[in-house]
Each structure stands twice: as structure tokens, then as C-alpha cells.
Structure 1
Amino acid sequence: MSRQLILDLLPPPRPTLENFVPGGNGVVLQALRELQPGRAIYLWGPPGAGRTHLLRALGEAPGCLYATAASDPGPLAELATGDAAPPRLVAVDDIGSLGPEGQAAVFALYNRWRAAAQTAQAFAVLVAGDRAPMAMPLREDLRTRLGWDLSFRLELLSDAERAAALAGRAAERGLQLSAEVLNWVLTHYARDMGKLTALLDALDRYSMEKQRAITLPLLRELLAGSADEAPPRPATPL
């Protein structure tokens, strides 16, 4: 396998609640595990805090619906105003980027959610944005609906929490990461745990391919090779 394909062919694992690293977000994770039809949760926090991971973990499950600002707003609008039985959970990610049609669809969705909350057609709503409900750049009536039920702020993992999570996932694979490799990855690579896990998988594969131990020179070689045909991006010199 060519080096430049390794990272591309090993995307982050499918998001689940089990592979989410909670850090200081244990209360949020518990609330999501207990989310039932008729309840709604709004998650907000900075990039890299895990909003998309959590929404995909629930919204992409069978019988659920996951939508983003890039999705066609038609299905959401039809769900919100139609008579068909709704999914058991509807997840709407990056709500701050929704256009007028998308905002109108989510507004109507909240109205149907509230009306159906105590009926056999009750469903759960999970929405995420990058700031608190009333600070979102949305139409006023939709901002108020974001706070109708539960709202949680997601916290970024600390460096120590990311280090512990990455070391733990390496140990699960039987890998030994030196302090030098671990520190370099945490200092120079992405903060997002999904991307860090994908890098770990790629490093494992590359180590086996080359039959060499995982060292900083091997990591440099992998990243230099994967960048051969990758789009240019700002990077800290290796």
C-alpha cells in the first residue's frame, strides 16, 4: 500500500457513545444515554469538543435521522409538517449554519416535537451549535426553542485527558508509544480525538508494513509520505 493512501483509507472509526472520550463531559454522555422520545437536548461548545461525534453516534443509528446544514431541508420540513410517523430521534448538527429554509424546518420540527411529546408519536430531538442558544445567529423564535428542554455545554479535553485516551487506545491495540511520539502527536497534530485515533490506526498499519517499531522517525516518514499527494496545508515543521 502506498504511503500517501494510508491515512485516507483509515478514516476515524464510526462515532458511538462508547468510543467518545468524555473527559469533563460525563454528565452530557449520561444524558444522551438516557435520552427518550419526548425529550430534547441542545449541545454547544467549541470545535473539537465532540458535538458532531455525539450527534452522529445517535442520529445515524437505525430508525433515526441525522441532518446538517449541508443536507436538503426538504425531508426535515416534510417530517415537521407531515402526518407520517417520525423517526425515534432527529439530530440536527451545526444549526448555526442553516439557511432560512433549514431554520424554518427546524422551527416546525420543534413545534411538532412538543405537540407529540405525550403521544404515541413522540420522538427525541438532538441539536448542536457552537454557542449558547440565545447567542446563536438564528431567527428569534428558533433560538428560544433551542432552550425548551435540556442544554449542555461541551468542554474540550485537557492535554492530560487526550494523552491518557490516546495511550489507552494504543494499549488496546498492543502498541507501545514512547513519550517522545506521544508528546509530538499531542503537540503538533489535531486536537480532535477522531483524527488522533485515525492517525494511531495508520501508524499501527505502517509499522507492520515496514516491520519497524513505532518511533518518531517512523511517524515522520508516515506523515511525509501521506502528504506526497495530499492537499497542501499549514504545518509545524517536523
Structure 2
Amino acid sequence: MRQLALDLGPSDVPGLDDFVQGDNAEVLAWLRAWPDSATPGAPAYLWGAEGLGKTHLLKGLASQALGLGWHVLWLDPHGFQSWDCGQPQAATLVLMDDCDRLDAQQQHWAFNLFIECAASLAEAPAGTPVAIAIVAAGRVPPVDLPVRDDLRTRLGWGLTFAVHALGEDDLREALQHEARRRGLKLHEGVLPYLLTHCRRDQGYLMRLLDQLDRFALAEQRGVTVPLLKQMLALETA
């Protein structure tokens, strides 16, 4: 399996508390209560359009699991990565992102992880804590995933949560929160300009905020509407 560079440092990965809830109270509450909220042996699956924060939620859960003393394994179309909590006998949380984009080899890996999860549950004495747990995400519900049938069935075994888009007020709050998390001071008018003149896609706007942060640092200027316009003009030139 090819290794994937996925930094879990606090400066790079927002946690569950950084996720603006909007209409996603149910899934956020379940994730915050994990692993107590999970059914042993049953996966959980998050689905929704691109850019709604599913990867954010999975990364937030990864950080939470590491803090609770779990190993974490991550699989997505870019490759495979794992983090050791330092306790060899600890349980493992398996996170699968962008399940609708997994290729044949990655689907094979994912299916084998489900088999390993089932085997560990069957072999464990009654009352023993779960050894492997799986949480996955994709752009479509499990039944519509373009993956092999046996993997599609297993991804749909457990709880399924739809991740909903944020309304304008919540989206504004999410951008403000991310700017504060980065220590980025947005001058008056920047957020209204982003929401009025740019594609109102949460993922796109978050990436744009990241670009704006780096552009302002390179230019050694404050984050103003003229700076934002300059950056956007350079992108389209």
C-alpha cells in the first residue's frame, strides 16, 4: 500500500469543534460521542456533495481517536496512511474517504479491512471492546456507490448520515471561524465579496481562504478586498 502524507498537526487539521453545525447536528453529535455511539462491528457512512466538510469530519474523528489511544488507518483515492498511538494492543479506527472514487485495488483493500473487522469481532470474547471500527464517506449514498457489490453492501450495513450544505449565515460563520483558527485578520468587506462574487461552495471557499492566507503572506499585505481581487485576477490571467 502506498503511503499518503496526511498531517494531523493541530495547525493543519481542524477538529470536530471547528465544524460549523448548521443542519448537521445529528452526525456531529454521533461523532463527538464516538466510540460510545458506535455499534460494534457496524460501520458508519457519511455522504453528501463535494465540499460539504466530510473530510473535515473524518480528520476531526482521527484526531479524537488518537487522543483516546486508538490507532488510526486512513484510505482514500490518493493512497494509504496509518498512525500509531504508541500502544501495540490498542484498537484501530479505519477511515475511508471518497469511497466513490476508489479504484479496483483500493476497493480490494477496503473490502479486506471489512473482513478483518468482522473476524476480530467474531474472535473477541463477549464484552471485549471492539478491535477495529470503520467510518467512511463518499459523495453518494452507499446504495449508489460505483464500487464492487460486496464492498457496497458492507458500507451500507450500519448508520448512514447525510451531510447537509450550510446556509449563508452558517457559511459566513464557518469562514470567520477558519480565519480565526489560522490567525488571519480579514478586513471589512472580504467575506461579503467572497460570498457575492465567488462560487458558494463550502469546500471551494475554504480552499480560497487558504490561498488568500498564503498570498497575503507572500505579498506581506493585509487581507483586503483589493488583495483578494488581485489574487483572483492572477488566477484567471
Q: Normalising to structure 1: TM-score of the pair? A: 0.70
In structure 2, the partner of 1:52 is: 55
Partner residue, 1:4: none
What is the alpha-carbon distance in structure 2 between the residues aligned to residue 147 and residue 196 of structure 1? 34
Report the identity percentage.
32
Q: Which amino acid aligns with 2:101?
A: S
How many residue pairs get aligned? The number is 204
Letter in 1 for 2:207: K
Distance change >3 Å, CA 117–CA 199, structure 1 → 2? same
Higher relative contact order (CA 8 A, sep 6+): 1
> RMSD across aligned C-alpha pairs, in angstroms?
3.3
Match of 1:68 in 2: 76
Specify the alignment match of 2:25 in structure 1: 26
Supply the distance in 1 between the matched residues of 2:178 and 2:110 (Cα, whole angstroms).
Answer: 37
* 1:126 equivalent in alignment to 2:135: yes
Larger Rg: 1
What's the offset of the Cα at 1:89? 0.2
Aligned equivalents of 2:139, 2:166: Cα separation in 1: 16
Task: Report SS of the residue matched to 1:58.
Answer: helix
> Structure 1 CA distance, aligned partners of 2:91 and 2:74?
10
| Structure 1: gaps (5+ residues) | 1-11, 77-83
Deviates more, 1:63-72 or 1:85-94: 85-94
1:94 is matched with 98
Alignment of 1:48-197 (within 5 A): 48-59=51-62, 62=66, 63-71=71-79, 87-117=91-121, 119=124, 120=128, 122-170=131-179, 173=183, 175=185, 177-178=187-188, 180-187=189-196, 188=198, 191-192=202-203, 194-197=206-209
The residue type equivalent to 2:137 in the other structure is A
Q: Give me the TM-score of the superposition, normalised by structure 2.
A: 0.70
Large movers: runs of 4+ above 3 Å: 59-62, 84-87, 167-177, 199-207, 221-224
Would the alpha carbon gap of residues 133 and 171 (structure 1) be closer, same or farther in structure 2, given more than 3 Å must change?
Answer: closer
Conserved 8 A contact 1:113-1:122 = yes
Identify unmatched segments of 5+ residues in structure 2. Answer: 1-10, 83-87
Relative to 1, partners in 2 of residues 1:176 and 1:58: Cα closer, same or farther, differing over 3 Å? closer
